[in-house]
Amino acid sequence: MNSVFETALIGKHVVIIGGSSGMGKATAKLAVALGAKVTIASRSLAKLEAAAADIGGGVQIAPVDTTNETGMKSWASGLEKVDHLVISASSAARGAFAELPTTDLRAMFEAKFIGPYVAAREVLPVLTEGGSITFFSGVLSRRPSAGATGLGAVNAAVEALSKGLALELSGRARVNCISPGMVATEAYAAMSNEAREAMFAQVGNSLPVRRIGEAEDIAQAVIMAMTNGYLTGAVLDVDGGHLVRG
């Protein structure tokens, strides 16, 4: 890291919604290490407290649910100024097009699109001039997979939102989107160890980098999106080459 990168976050307030686990937590750790004041938010108070203890650095916690619009408004209105907002909170519903229950599809859109949309809108009044907003999508937006059509669609919607807001908020804030490939996080905790490792190995061997991602790989991209003042309206593919593989 160069000196500009190392000092760009010193004293800045970084709010990470979804910061209690996975890629959001890894981003919080890196931001704290770079001197930022960090607030992590998610629905589970217990997970937030455990994450804060692990991250250290005086990280603040906020138990909020992005799908609760009234709660989001109340929380955001009480925030101190925010320099960078990261929304990594996510939800995935998989299933064949003809079989996926509409309720599951709606819940996914609420969690991964409507929730981040509302969060960004409510935090915007306290976002500093020249600050940034970073959303999360995923590789299925542009490389579809059978059984994940709905998930691909919501990822594409998040990317469209990011690009539209980058234009609408030009001169006010930069807006970007991180599109991760498969990353080893708690999202796969429900699988057996054997099945999970087999899946990671299969996917990893199919990628140009010959491995799946780690949460820290994604955190580095988020920090770059926050600190590069020339970057806006971009979808950063941090996917091990998933989009270009054969």
Task: For residue range 11-66, list pLDDT tens digits in order.
Answer: 999 999 999 999 999 999 999 999 999 999 999 999 999 999 999 999 999 999 99
Whether 67 shows a pLDDT value over 70: the answer reads: yes
**Residues β-bridged to residue 61:** 40
- Rounded to whole angstroms, the Cα distance separating 130 from 194 reads 46
- Nearest CA to 158 out of 3, 14, 1, 18 is that of 18
pTM comes to 0.94
Question: What pLDDT was estimated at residue 191?
Answer: 86
> Which strand (E) or helix (H) includes residue 61?
strand 60-63
Whether 237 shows a pLDDT value over 60: the answer reads: yes
Mean pLDDT of 142-166: 92
List, in order of start, the domains of the chain with CATH numbers. 3-234 (3.40.50.720)
At 172-219, the pLDDT tens digits run 999 999 999 999 988 888 888 999 999 999 999 999 999 999 999 999
- Nearest CA to 19 out of 221, 161, 189, 219 is that of 219
